[in-house]
Amino acid sequence: MAKPKIAILHYSCPPVIGGVEFIIEAHAREFAKAGFDTKLIVGKGEDVWPGVPSVVLPNLSAGGEKVAPILESIGRGEVPPTFDNVVAYVERELRRELRDVDVCMMHNVLTMHFNLVLTAALANIMADTDGINFIGWTHDLTFCNPDYEKHQIRKYPWDLMSKPLDGCRYCVISAQRQQETEEVLGLPASQLPVIPDGIDVPLQWDLPERLRELYHAESLSTTDIVVMTPTRILRRKNLAAGMEVVGELKKRGVSLRWLITGAPDVYNPETMKYYRELQDQRRRLGILNEVIFLGERFNGRVSNEEIRALYRMSDVLLFPSQSEGFGLPVLEAGLSGLVVAISDIPALRELAGDDAIYFDLEKGNADEVADGIVEAMKGCPRTRHWKKVVSKYSWETVFTNNILPAVMTPEKVWA
């Protein structure tokens, strides 16, 4: 299916600061990454992403030279005689920019009062334009906000905000907004699909560039469990036991990635021998995709900054070491709220007590450790909420599951 040309329309975009401004910047970024021909149409702002131009039409903002005096009168509840002429001017500007557009996503401008000249111009365009999928992206509504009571006037042009406009599909950002929009516009909930805002997870976690790339390349937003082990490749670190646990988790249908920070010392024959054994074990257990040696993936060692970031992006610390004098990773994992699966040796038990899942180094209990990790993930409110946020509200997930269908198969979204 050919990708439609996208226009995202709002009063402004970054560097203007605002919640909706940040949302449309994220939308522009995701469309650009997915290879869509995309532009922003705004009253103020600059380019927000490479390859996504921002077309600035000052009269789309409340401060545009032609609209400012009109909107001042509108704010007093008066419609000046020049209103229709200015609407026609803005309409001409918009029609020019929409000539080659297939989808126009209009954020808040149909349900808020900040520029009713723009709202009226869009109403005229949508009423007589075929071939464009107009979407009224509803973040806020003047007609359900008591702070805007003076703007809730039941005549033109204010009433454009209180009724569904011809030629437009509406969506909302939450169930609450769905209920409010249903009441204001009189549309059924089935015609008001919820398309939530998202969160830039790598940015929120302050991931360094290499980990940001890894996060996207490995689709970690939709991975059930991210496991990390900050260690060098040494036999006493007992990474073979961790391999068995990863194999058991995969058998249980868990999607996971195990991120091991250290690289082997190429000048140490013993560590290179052990490294090759681990690679063979990884192949034998069928976990080539699940086990990631960052020493293989990265050019250069993993930095301390990256290790701290790994704690932020991981769910589980896996540390089956046979011998430790202390065990700093156990404390670091505790500060980050990770599930801790560690070997049952005195130094580590001293630190974790009853708050860990333990490897039995004598008997080998990979199946029990795997079960313990699964149960701990289910039983930890922080982890449950964290995984829900990452898996449901990361921008890449919102884009794939909600935004793409709205532009590619709208007849299914607004069935």
Distance, in Å, from the CA atom of 337 to the CA atom of 398, rounded to the nearest integer, reads 26
pTM beyond 0.95, yes or no: no
All structural domains of the chain, each given as residue ranges with its CATH number in brackets, are 6-198+394-413 (3.40.50.2000), 202-393 (3.40.50.2000)
Over residues 12-33, the pLDDT tens digits come to: 999 999 999 999 999 999 999 9
Distance, in Å, from the CA atom of 264 to the CA atom of 77, rounded to the nearest integer, reads 74
Q: Is the pLDDT of residue 90 over 90?
A: yes
- Give the whole-number percent of the chain exceeding pLDDT 70: 100
pLDDT of residue 365: 94
Distance, in Å, from the CA atom of 313 to the CA atom of 166, rounded to the nearest integer, reads 45
pLDDT of residue 122: 98
Taking a C-beta distance cutoff of 8 angstroms, is the pair 143, 111 a contact? yes
Over residues 215-260, the pLDDT tens digits come to: 999 999 999 999 999 999 999 999 999 999 999 999 999 999 999 9
Q: Which two tokens stand for residue 265?
A: 């010392």
Distance, in Å, from the CA atom of 236 to the CA atom of 329, rounded to the nearest integer, reads 16
pLDDT of residue 381: 73
Over residues 278-311, the pLDDT tens digits come to: 999 999 999 999 999 998 899 889 999 999 999 9
Over residues 260-285, the pLDDT tens digits come to: 998 887 778 888 999 999 999 999 99
pLDDT of residue 300: 84
